[in-house]
Structure 1
Amino acid sequence: MAIPDRNHAARSLHRIGYYRLSAFGYPYRDFCPIPTPGGEADGRVRCDKFKEGTTFDYVIDFYLFDKALRMELLDAIERIEVAVRTAMIEVLGELGPHAHRDRRSYKDRFSEKDANGDTPLGLFIEGLDQHFKRSKEDFAKHFKLKYFGPPPIWIEAGTWTWGNLTHIIAHLSDKNKMAIAERIHPDLPMKTFASWITALNDVRNSCAHHARTWNKPLVNSPGVPSKTTFGQLDHLRKSRMGDDAPTKKIYSAIVVMIFMLRQFYPGTEWHVRLREMILTQYFPREIHPQTAGFPEGWEHEAIWS
């Protein structure tokens, strides 16, 4: 790797750390043959040698771009999280102020006892109670000071994390899950909706922990509804870059974010800003948009218009 400014490189390593920064240099590492006992090569693997022409600035530029991308994704995820949480409050709140504590709101298996007599729902509620008890939010302090008993869902949900939200949605009864999905779009299948929430939770965690996001495979891929349900999502089914799952890269999660944002905020221009950011970014061949799951001509797809 060429390092034109060694002082700048040293400062960067002290600020960011070698191990974290090395993740952004990984795509620039070359492939080396794997030797076999017979001395012949058997496949290739990334090695410590960098590709010819790689500079330290390539790594820093990738790091800064990924950071800017994560900031944009967190902006969208925050709005989606608040809107989905509100939809859940409305659906469960209609059943009662403590419907999120009622086993009837969930699938039967969420109330099955284990060997110790505990249920997943009981343990989950216990965790929520501890979280609310430790909360320093003014509304939580006010409730604890003036009232007794557990808080109603419209108050307690204010202290939930995206992880809490994901866990609840995963175990809700089909009826409740469907009711929330319908508030996003009448034709959105509940299973697709649940997979979106799980996938976005993974993206949110990656962004919040400052992890490389651009060309890293998703832990959980978002589902795609049946063909023609939402025509602007159909292109997600097309295989690209040799993936066995077309939706396992960040592109599919971004498309889902755009779709959800447009349902809650019809006038949003978040996708326009992100589109321009990507189109104007210089990408060395090792990290071009296709490595993040972006198909050829992605910018002309209807979802980006």
Structure 2
Amino acid sequence: MDKKKHQPPLTVEEQILNLKSIGLTMVDEEDAKDFLNDVSYFRFIKAYSLNLKEKNGMYYNGVSFEKLKHLYLFNANFRQILFPQIEMIEINLRCRVANHFSHKYGVLGYEDPINFINIEHHTAFMHDINVEINRNSKSPFVKNFKLNYEEGKIPFYALIELFSFGLLSKFYKNMKIEDKKIIANSFNVGYKYLESWIESIAYVRNICAHYGRLYNARLTKTPKLYKQYTYEKIRNNRIYSILLCLSHLIVHDRHWEEFVDTIEGLLEKYSDVNKELMGFPNNWKDYLV
């Protein structure tokens, strides 16, 4: 089978002509040109045209450039308000893991594989964290411990600040079950759920950090949901499932209520958004507040 040849690059003017030739309507062509000068054609068109084209590659009747732009802007705004919620969970989890593990096993207990479930995973962790230590060798707190403490080792309560969310998730997953239970109990959830949730949340965090698409995206790392949600046929491979996880991990104070209200406001502002493509049920707000 012959492989496809790469298409030559298009100027913004040529991009506009190409979009019009496949049925995409435009209310303001100059505005479209300005937008495509700021947001790449590939990032924008390829991602936000999903489910809006026929099999022959033509856009469905009524699909406009402005509709795609609204989907893009919704995604950007949604991503920006979601990231701080994830950051809160990440910081809380770091703190609780650091406090429990350091007190139980000592500040250098992370070096001993006996304190974990899987020795091979611990070996991989030690390799990963040494890479991070070397990468952050000029960081003031790393230099301080390296120069001024016995054997230049870094205590766990400080070391954990070098963890990515992904590495934090892996560390938790390899902790002993009795330790995982204590951490999970502090969030009032079962440890198997917390283990699944933080892995999925870390995955979504990386999408946010790389300005990726959450709208109409199928999650690769899917969280284990409570039966009450599966009975309601809420899918765990859409972004709404992550909101459900966050709702169980974050205190429902005014901050959380404002977050949910902001989502509602975005959905009202960008009426082209199809909530079902993000896994939102009709009564989506009831589950979050």
User: How high is the TM-score relative to the length of structure 1?
Assistant: 0.79
CA drift at 1:267: 6.2
Q: What percent identity do the matched residue pairs reach? A: 24
- CA deviations over 1:198-235 (Å, ceiling 9, x no partner): 1101110111111110221111221124x5xxxxxx23
> Which of the pair is proportionally richer in strand?
1
CA drift at 1:16: 1.6
Alpha-carbon distance in structure 2 between the residues aligned to 1:137 and 1:76? 26
Tell whether the 8 Å contact from 1:275 to 1:299 is kept in structure 2 after alignment.
no
The correspondence for 2:80, drawn from 61, 71, 79, is 71
The correspondence for 1:144, drawn from 137, 146, 151, is 146
Q: What residue number does 1:216 align with?
A: 217
Gaps of 5+ in 2: 1-23
- CA deviations over 1:165-224 (Å, ceiling 9, x no partner): 011112222111111111111xx2111110001110111011111111022111122112
In structure 2, give the amino acid aligned to 1:144: K
Q: What residue number does 1:176 align with?
A: 179
Q: What residue number does 2:113 align with?
A: 103
User: How high is the TM-score relative to the length of structure 2?
Assistant: 0.83
Q: What residue number does 1:9 align with?
A: 32
Alpha-carbon distance change, 177 to 21 in structure 1, aligned in 2, over 3 angstroms = same
Alpha-carbon distance in structure 2 between the residues aligned to 1:30 and 1:268? 37
Alpha-carbon distance change, 65 to 267 in structure 1, aligned in 2, over 3 angstroms = closer
Q: What residue number does 2:196 align with?
A: 195
Tell whether the 8 Å contact from 1:24 to 1:59 is kept in structure 2 after alignment.
no
The correspondence for 1:273, drawn from 249, 261, 264, is 261
Alpha-carbon distance change, 132 to 266 in structure 1, aligned in 2, over 3 angstroms = farther
The alignment partner of 2:269 has SS state of coil
Tell whether the 8 Å contact from 2:122 to 2:174 is kept in structure 1 after alignment.
no
Tell whether the 8 Å contact from 2:74 to 2:270 is kept in structure 1 after alignment.
no
Alpha-carbon distance in structure 2 between the residues aligned to 1:266 and 1:132? 38
> Which of the pair is proportionally richer in helix?
2
The aligned length equals 263
Whether 2:131 is the aligned partner of 1:166: answer no
CA drift at 1:258: 2.0
Alpha-carbon distance change, 126 to 235 in structure 1, aligned in 2, over 3 angstroms = closer
Q: What residue number does 2:134 align with?
A: 133
Tell whether the 8 Å contact from 2:166 to 2:202 is kept in structure 1 after alignment.
yes
Alpha-carbon distance in structure 2 between the residues aligned to 1:156 and 1:26? 43
The alignment partner of 1:27 has SS state of coil
The alignment partner of 1:31 has SS state of coil
Q: For structure 1, which segment, 88-97 or 14-23, has the greater mean C-alpha deviation from structure 2 after superposition?
A: 14-23
Alpha-carbon distance in structure 1 between the residues aligned to 2:90 and 2:147? 28
Tell whether the 8 Å contact from 1:224 to 1:237 is kept in structure 2 after alignment.
no
Gaps of 5+ in 1: 33-46, 112-118, 228-233, 241-245
Whether 2:259 is the aligned partner of 1:258: answer no
CA drift at 1:146: 1.9
CA RMSD of aligned residues (A): 2.1
